[in-house]
Amino acid sequence: MAEIRIAWPDPEGQEIVERLFAADAALRAHFEQVTAAVGLTVPQAHTLIQLQEPQRMGTMAGHLHCEPSHVTAIADSLEAGGLLRREPDPDDRRAKRLVLTEAGQELRGRLLKLLFEGAPIISTLDAEQRAGLLAMLRMAQSGDGHRALRRFPAARGDDSCPPVPS
Amino acid sequence: MAEIRIAWPDPEGQEIVERLFAADAALRAHFEQVTAAVGLTVPQAHTLIQLQEPQRMGTMAGHLHCEPSHVTAIADSLEAGGLLRREPDPDDRRAKRLVLTEAGQELRGRLLKLLFEGAPIISTLDAEQRAGLLAMLRMAQSGDGHRALRRFPAARGDDSCPPVPS
DNA sequence: ACAACATAGTTCAGTCGCTGAAACAAATCG
DNA sequence: CGATTTGTTTCAGCGACTGAACTATGTTGT
């Protein structure tokens, strides 16, 4: 994510946005680094992490905020790498559940360990600061958790204007 | 960004990471919404926002954390849309400066206004909460600002392992 | 002054993550 | 039982982005 450095009507709001973006960029970079270090791409790693317990592919698509067809592709690669297998869902013969193999569980554990060690933001705060940050984030997010994660909400009609060539 | 929901060694750290990712997802969704509403793609909008003052293209690549060749493409589209023009840099005849046109300035203003209105996290906090959140983020980020924004740092050698098929 | 090298931007081929439509199988509903 | 929905797969294609090759201009060392 690019830096946001602009003339803002509200300097404090501006700094919060900047720092939230920066915090995210740091988390993302850490995630990418760890992920690459164990030989996974970012979406592969996300999928692996979700698989503490077997998941149906559609459910996984929900967790990853992507289309089911994309889950098919990710699962293909992880299955080819021997990290998970597809097994039929006992309750619905159309559905398949993704299940970690031994190797998958082992790698998932290693991934989580690396992910937590040296995670930015968290590792630079002491216990009290972390508690404070957490309280703030809880307040800021109370009530809009699911709304916050929806992607590509429809544009507001009255603000629309013709697109620029891409 | 996908949800992070895992068995973590540290529940508090886990929640902080989750909430930071969620905060980012919300900011990103808001940015995408506003951006689409004015007819821009996300990278186009980032570029426009950076252009409060004329910028050399290489500098812009730095701000956007991408390769210079990508700035060329973005600038092409914005120039075709009449939002900016390339002018020669007075100090270096190899370089070009990106300068907003009248239309570009107008749209940039509209973008900033929409971006700030209804921005998640910020708009749900009162003044005191915002100050508190800001203080926490400042603490968390003191000293690692530039490190945090580096992309794709080299993988640590001793943690590496063979990649999974992509 | 001039060769050698560094730097700014462009062009182009190609990768990656992801979407959307079509197709098939299995479940559910009238 | 037929009609419709749902879970997954396949495939074509898009947008963001990289990396290498190229041109043109600046810089440096002898």
Whether the full predicted model's pTM is greater than 0.75, yes or no, is yes
Burial classification of residue B23, based on how many CB atoms lie within 10 Å of its CB (0-12 exposed, 13-18 middle, 19 or more buried): buried
Chain B: residue whose CA lies nearest to A160: B37
Its domain, for residue B53, covers: 11-136
What is the model's pLDDT at position B77? 97
- Cβ-Cβ contacts under 8 Å for B74 (sequence gap 6 or more): B43, B44, B47, B64
- Smallest Cβ–Cβ distance between A16 and the set B137, B143, B165 belongs to B137
The mean pLDDT of B78-86, rounded to a whole number, is 98
**What mean pLDDT is reported for chain B?**
83
Pairwise pLDDT comparison (B156 vs B128), residue with the higher score: B128
Q: Is the CB of B88 under 7 A from strand C?
A: no
Whether A150 is in a domain gets the answer: no
Whether B143 is in a domain gets the answer: no
> Cα separation of B46 and A142, whole Å?
28
The long-range contacts involving A117-123, CB below 8 angstroms and separated by at least 24 positions, are A118/A30, A119/A27, A119/A30, A119/B13, A119/B17, A120/A23, A120/A26, A120/A27, A120/A29, A120/A30, A120/B140, A120/B144, A120/B148, A121/A23, A121/A26, A121/A27, A121/B16, A121/B20, A121/B140, A121/B141, A122/B13, A122/B16, A122/B17, A122/B140
Residue B16 is given by DSSP the state: H
Judge: B131–A12 Cβ closer than 8 Å, yes or no.
yes
Q: Is the CB of B68 under 7 A from strand C?
A: yes
DSSP string of B69-110, one letter each residue: HHHHHHHHHHHHTTSEEEEEETTEEEEEEEEE-HHHHHHHHH
- Smallest Cβ–Cβ distance between B163 and the set A2, A39, A136 belongs to A39
> Cα separation of B166 and B159, whole Å?
20
* A21 contacts A1 by C-beta, under 8 angstroms: yes
- Residues in chain B with CB shorter than 8 Å from the CB of A161 are 37-39
> Cα separation of B53 and A6, whole Å?
10
B163 pLDDT tier (thresholds 50, 70, 90) = low
**With 60 as the cut, is the pLDDT of residue B98 above it?**
yes
Whether B109 is in a domain gets the answer: yes
- Residues in chain B with CB shorter than 8 Å from the CB of A80 are 164-165
What is the model's pLDDT at position A14? 72
**What mean pLDDT is reported for chain A?**
82
How many angstroms is C1' of C4 away from CA of B90? 26
**With 80 as the cut, is the pLDDT of residue B132 above it?**
yes
A35-39, A121-125, B81-85, B151-155: the lowest-pLDDT one: B151-155
Judge: B145–A114 Cβ closer than 8 Å, yes or no.
no
B88 pLDDT tier (thresholds 50, 70, 90) = very high
- Smallest Cβ–Cβ distance between B19 and the set A1, A77, A141 belongs to A141
B21 to B2, B36, B111, B118: CA distances (angstroms): 8, 22, 24, 19
- Residues in chain A with CB shorter than 8 Å from the CB of B153 are 29, 32-33
A148 pLDDT tier (thresholds 50, 70, 90) = very low
- If one counts the domains in chain B, the total is 1
**With 70 as the cut, is the pLDDT of residue B11 above it?**
yes
Whether A156 is in a domain gets the answer: no
* A82 contacts A113 by C-beta, under 8 angstroms: no
Judge: A130–B12 Cβ closer than 8 Å, yes or no.
yes
What is the model's pLDDT at position A1? 61
CA of A98: nearest nucleotide by C1' is D8
- The CATH code of the domain that includes B53 is 1.10.10.10
Of A60, A95, A99, A64, the closest CA to residue A83 belongs to: A99
